[in-house]
């Protein structure tokens, strides 16, 4: 537990500093008029209520808000903040994607196993593949408005990075990992069931039966 928290603190604080630096470059000095237009990278969608900058993600309050900032930080912003430096694996959300992919796969597999006792292994495998696919994750990210929360470099933001399916799918996995590291399996499982499995389960089972 201590190791997990130490890792989260070191990598998450760096992402939080990058987010603040990015906002400062776009918004200007602190004494600029409040009417200045905020950077797209720090906008938050209304479902987060308090917004990711305060560690509130939908109905989950992060104990370490820097973990959420790290999960939303794309490598383009990490490079923009340190273009001459050595690439730091803890400066963006790619390592969290790796962990989130594993957590997502386990939660989906367990849910299908428990909910669908009549299905055989092959059918369960096909359903799991559909639920954890990049295409499905990107669709979920668009539905829950994850895109506007992403912290992107200026070039990536100007090219429409907030709407790119690959970036959205990766961010979904990173957010799942952040939920797991911050609160354990319960918040990660709740998020996956509510947003990834629940809305799609009936449709996927119908498609499986029709095929």
Token couple for 19: 């987010």
- What's the pLDDT tens digit per position in 103-137? 999 999 999 999 999 899 999 999 999 999 999 99
Which residue carries 């690959």 as its tokens?
A: 166
Token couple for 53: 């900058």
**Mean per-residue pLDDT, 55-70:** 93
Catalytic residues: 101, 173
Q: Dihedral sign for Cα 206, 202, 47, 18, please.
A: negative
Helix extents (H) in the chain: 2-27, 65-71, 75-81, 94-115, 121-132, 134-143, 154-158, 165-183, 185-191, 198-210
Q: Which of 168, 162, 112 lies closest to 138, judged by CA?
A: 168
Token couple for 97: 């994607």
d(CA 171, CA 174) in angstroms, rounded, equals 5
Which among 16-20, 89-93, 179-183 has the top mean pLDDT?
179-183
d(CA 69, CA 17) in angstroms, rounded, equals 9
pLDDT at 171 over 80: yes
* pLDDT, averaged across the chain: 79
Rg (CA), the chain: 18
d(CA 210, CA 202) in angstroms, rounded, equals 12
Instruction: Please give the C-alpha separations between residue 30 and each of 13, 33, 52, 113, in angstroms, as whole numbers.
Output: 21, 9, 20, 53
Query: Cβ distance 168 to 147 under 8 Å?
Result: yes
Q: Is 14 exposed, middle or buried (0-12, 13-18, 19+ CB in 10 A)?
A: buried
- What's the pLDDT tens digit per position in 186-199? 999 999 999 999 98
Tell me the pTM.
Answer: 0.74
């Amino acid at each position: 537990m201590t190791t997990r928290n130490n890792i989260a603190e070191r990598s998450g604080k760096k992402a939080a500093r990058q987010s603040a630096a990015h906002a400062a470059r776009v918004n200007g000095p602190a004494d600029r008029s409040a009417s200045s237009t905020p950077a797209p990278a720090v906008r938050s969608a209304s479902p987060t209520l308090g917004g990711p900058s305060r560690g509130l993600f939908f109905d989950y309050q992060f104990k370490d808000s820097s973990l959420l900032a790290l999960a939303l930080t794309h490598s383009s912003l990490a490079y923009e903040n340190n273009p001459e430096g050595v690439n730091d694996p803890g400066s963006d959300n790619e390592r969290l994607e790796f962990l989130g992919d594993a957590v997502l796969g386990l939660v989906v597999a367990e849910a299908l196993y428990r909910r669908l006792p009549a299905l055989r292994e092959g059918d369960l495998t096909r359903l799991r593949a559909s639920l954890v696919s990049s295409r499905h994750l990107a669709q979920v990210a668009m539905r829950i408005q994850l895109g506007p929360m992403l912290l992107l470099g200026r070039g990536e933001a100007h090219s429409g990075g907030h709407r790119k399916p690959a970036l959205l799918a990766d961010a979904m996995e990173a957010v799942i990992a952040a939920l797991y590291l911050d609160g354990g399996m319960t918040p990660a499982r709740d998020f996956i069931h509510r947003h990834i499995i629940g809305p799609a389960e009936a449709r996927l089972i119908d498609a499986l039966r029709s095929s």
